[in-house]
């Protein structure tokens, strides 16, 4: 399995002959977000800001769902923290309502 953190330009990856259906879920997410970001104008349109804020909210919600599923599946707070790039304690504090 590929390390999604090693993915710097998913367009190069796709252009390099790797089929889109062979990308990992993480790589597809990075590709989608990079596509959204590349469509932003240099003027900093207020509608783009609003859209990005809504996207951020949705991403945070999905992270919460994934954490809840990971905990239900027996994952430790240490493993969850590592996946999120934070300490075990930080993960527990951020998602304390999940348990």
Each residue of 29-49: pLDDT tens digit?
888 777 776 766 666 677 777
Other C-beta atoms closer than 10 Å to the C-beta of 80 total 21
Q: Find all residues with CB under 8 Å of 19, minimum gap 6, and list them.
A: none
pTM for this prediction: 0.62
Give the integer Cα–Cα distance in Å for 74 and 53. 32
Give the integer Cα–Cα distance in Å for 9 and 60. 23
Digit-coded pLDDT (tens) for 63-91: 999 999 999 999 999 999 999 999 999 99
Place of tokens 């252009």: 15
Give the integer Cα–Cα distance in Å for 13 and 27. 9
């Amino acid at each position: 399995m590929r390390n999604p953190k090693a993915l710097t330009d998913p367009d190069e990856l796709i252009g390099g002959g790797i089929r889109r259906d062979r990308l990992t879920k993480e790589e597809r997410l990075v590709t989608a977000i990079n596509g959204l970001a590349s469509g932003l104008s240099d003027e900093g349109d207020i509608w783009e800001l609003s859209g990005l804020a809504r996207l951020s909210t949705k991403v945070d919600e999905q992270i919460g769902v994934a954490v809840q599923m990971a905990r239900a599946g027996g994952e430790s707070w240490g493993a969850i923290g590592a996946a999120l790039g934070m300490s075990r304690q930080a993960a527990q504090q951020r998602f304390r309502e999940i348990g």
